[in-house]
Amino acid sequence: VLDEVDAPLDDANVVRFCDLLDEMTRRTETRFLIITHNALTMARMDRLFGVTMAEQGVSQLVSVDLKGAESLVA
C-alpha cells in the first residue's frame, strides 16, 4: 500500500514513479494499492476504486477497470 507517495512530486517525477511501478510489477508480479489524487498516476493504473457519498452518511464504492475500458474504446 502506497498512500499518496506521489503528492510532493512534479509531473516528470510522477511519470518516473509510474514507470518504476510498471517495471516492478512486470519483474516481480507484485500488485500495488496506490492511494492518490494525482490524475497522471490514476491514468497509468489498471483499475480505479473510488468512494462517493451520494446521500449524506452513506458511502458507496465505485470501481472502473481501465484496461477493459481501453479495449472497448479501441
3-60 per-position pLDDT tens digit: 999 999 999 999 999 999 999 999 999 999 999 999 999 999 999 999 999 899 999 9
Residue 32 Ramachandran class (φ > 0 left, ψ -120 to 50 alpha, else beta)? beta
Using the 8-state DSSP alphabet, how is residue 56 labeled? Answer: T
The b-or-e profile of 18-48 (16+ CB within 10 A means b, else e) is beebeeeeeeeeeeeebebebeebbebbeee
Residue 56: per-residue pLDDT: 95
Q: If you search the block for the grid coordinates 510522477, which residue do you land on? A: 14
Any idea how long the chain is?
74
pTM assigned to the model: 0.80
Instruction: Name all domains of the chain by residue range, CATH numbers in brackets.
Output: 2-73 (3.40.50.300)
